[in-house]
Amino acid sequence: MLRSDETPASIKLQKAAIACIQANFTRAYDLISSIKEEDLLRVDDQALFHLVVGIYALFYNRDQVKALFNFNTILTNPLIEEDNIYYALATTACGLVYEERHDYEKAEENYSQIQKLLVNIKVTNKMSLFQVLWMLYQTGEYYGKRNNIKESNYLLRYAYQIASQYNGTFFMSRILYRLGMNMVGHGKNHQAIQYLRDAHAFARFSHNQYILTKAHQELNKLER
């Protein structure tokens, strides 16, 4: 259901944001490039605009400077307080930039705030569901890559719980794949195979070709 204050620009922006989260950057660019920032009247819409531009810059153009500028624009906006979901999203996104730069000290500073920032954020619609799952997944993946498996598993299982509750099937394959890789890292191959099989099934259902391929490759290694 649309809010009474939705505008054509804000509706298009939400579609761009979901496309970005799903790594459909071509569609995200087509949508975001047709939006004028001055047409976005709500503070949250302006924040979402900068978030989408920043994520596109980071993951598609590999422009870390532009990405960080857009994320910091959200964090330094006096109208956006720490309990605002866009503050948490921008904090997560800054962590991604520093991770890409291999500046793990600054990345940790950002990722370590996520659990605290998420405490007061509730899932109220499809957009907030995708946003909460995106933050939990990105943070869980970071800790998994840094071999902090306990923290990674906690965040990913929390994400899995939310995704199950609200039917967030797109993220299921990502979450399960990362849990599987965490088990591989701990030599728990039986559990890894279970997670990866589930990831493969969800990836097929949600048409996530990237996870479908990765899960298939890992299963081939483990089931030889």
- Domain locations along the chain: 122-224
Task: State the chain's mean pLDDT as an integer.
Answer: 90
| Architecture of the 122-224 domain | Alpha Horseshoe (1.25)
Of the ranges 66-70, 114-118, 170-174, which is most confident? Answer: 66-70
Side-chain-facing half-sphere of 101: CA atoms under 13 Å: 18
Global pTM? 0.88
Residue 20's nearest CA partner among 150, 169, 134 is 134
Q: What does the pLDDT read at residue 2?
A: 40
Q: What is the mean pLDDT of residues 1-25?
A: 79
Q: What is the pLDDT of residues 118-158, one digit of tens each?
A: 888 888 888 899 899 999 999 999 999 999 999 999 999 99
d(CA 21, CA 164): 18
Q: Where are the alpha helices (DSSP H) in the chain?
A: 8-21, 25-32, 43-59, 64-75, 85-100, 104-111, 114-118, 126-145, 149-166, 169-185, 189-206, 209-222
The pLDDT score that the predictor gives to residue 1 is 36
Residue 5 confidence (pLDDT):
59
